[in-house]
Amino acid sequence: MGSTFAKHCTSSITQLLKIRTSSSIQSQACGARIHSSSRSAERYVSRLSRALADLTQHLQSNGSTAQEAHEEAKQLFKWVRSEHHQRNLAPRDNYRTTLRALHRLKNGEPIAYVLGNAPFGAIKVECKAPVLIPRHETEEWTLRLGDLLKAHVKDHRRVFDMSLLDLCTGTGCIALLLADIFFKLRNDNKILLEAHIRAVDVAPQAVALAERNANRCKSDWHECVDLQILKGDLFVDDDVDKVCHSLPAQHIQGFDLLVCNPPYISASDWKELDASVKNWEDRLALVGDYPNQRLPAHAMPEPHIRSGLIFYKRLAQLISSGRLVRPPRDRQSPLPSFVLEVGHDQASAVVELFAGCTRSLQVWRDAFGKDRAVVGWLN
């Protein structure tokens, strides 16, 4: 690498920032014009170049080729610039914030935490460590479910009322994207629509973050979507009852639809995860094994203890006993009773857990052809 590598980084920074040298240098950095002396501009470029070089070396040490690492580092830098440009920072603050962001990325911090947000369908959600970062695979099946909601509403009725439960909500991304879909359905189709959504998590950090995300969106759809963010533990019966009792009287029999992206990684698989996941995201939002400080002390029968399936077993118990989810009001509807994200090798085991309480089950695959969600219709 050496001097050639450093020159490449300086060249990239200069090109990205569109630096122009004259008697008074006017440097365009992160969308803001900086008027400075030649020396200060060179120092600015030099520091960013070193930071970009460090980031590139970090990416290469994690398995990327030199070219891949260089291109990825430049792309990350562009994202940082774009985000900071939208914040209308003062030039000096822009420079310092950009430099800090590159250092954070070099230390392995995920880009969503560095930027402070992530796109999810048509919305953008705030992201903050250690709350789980929304994944593209989750976005995929949420949008697919949204398409079923659209088809159901358009084909079956001009008046639509339903209740939806989002367990292990994290940032609230699933609940908020579905709320956004409900809102647009009402506006686009002049439907008298009312949705009651409950988004639940056991982690205080997740509940607080989901509330902030909901408050940013709620002004758009508060007239047709009744959304509440609740703190609750899936393994505590009183908490389950509290969530169910939060619904209006007409939904007292349970929720029409349950969505959940539970912790499903086994403890052994967690050890093999990339450091950018293990060092930053909440282990309890990822690992679905016993022991887990969120779970009760009583033993669970094998094979659920060590296979990441313990949350699915609990959900199967609750659903089969008639709690949480009501029988479908319209058996001709394409809408499922539940959609559960699963690990790529867990679908068959999860299907087996729910076989006794459903009339139909499907496995949805993601864009990579991997099993990603188990979808069920109750009897």
Q: Which helix (H) or strand (E) holds 159?
A: strand 159-167
Whether residues 281 and 338 share a domain: the answer is: yes
| CA angle, residues 280, 285, 288, in degrees to nearest 5 | 125
Q: Are residues 155 and 292 in the same domain?
A: yes
Residue 231 lies in a domain: yes
Last residue of a domain, one of 54, 77, 107: 107
Residues 212, 305, single domain; the answer is yes
Do 10 and 97 share a domain, yes or no? yes
**Inside any domain, residue 254:** yes
User: Do 67 and 134 fall within a single domain?
Assistant: no
Choose the final residue of a domain: 74, 107, 140.
107
Residues 41 and 149 in one domain: no
Residue 225 sits in the same domain as residue 267? yes
pLDDT in tens, the chain (379 residues): 444 444 555 554 555 554 333 333 344 444 444 444 456 667 777 888 888 898 999 888 888 888 988 898 888 888 888 887 788 777 777 888 888 999 999 999 999 999 999 999 999 999 999 999 999 999 999 999 999 998 887 766 666 789 999 999 999 999 999 999 988 887 776 677 889 999 999 999 999 999 999 999 877 777 789 999 999 999 999 999 999 999 998 888 899 999 999 999 998 899 999 999 999 999 999 999 864 545 554 444 454 455 899 999 999 999 999 989 999 988 878 899 999 999 999 999 999 999 999 999 999 999 999 999 999 999 8
> Considering its fold, how many domains does the chain have in total?
2
Q: Are residues 159 and 295 in the same domain?
A: yes
Q: Which residue range is the domain that position 126 belongs to? A: 121-378
Q: 67 and 163: one domain?
A: no
Asked if residue 112 belongs to a domain, the reply is no
Co-location of 163 and 86 in the same domain? no
Residue 162 DSSP symbol: E
Nearest-5° Cα angle at 225, 220 to 228? 105
Q: Is the domain of 66 the same as that of 214?
A: no
Cα separations in angstroms, 170 against 289, 326, 369: 18, 24, 25
Contact 334, 315 (CB under 8 A): no
Pair (229, 101) in one structural domain: no
pTM of the model: 0.85
CATH at residue 167:
3.40.50.150
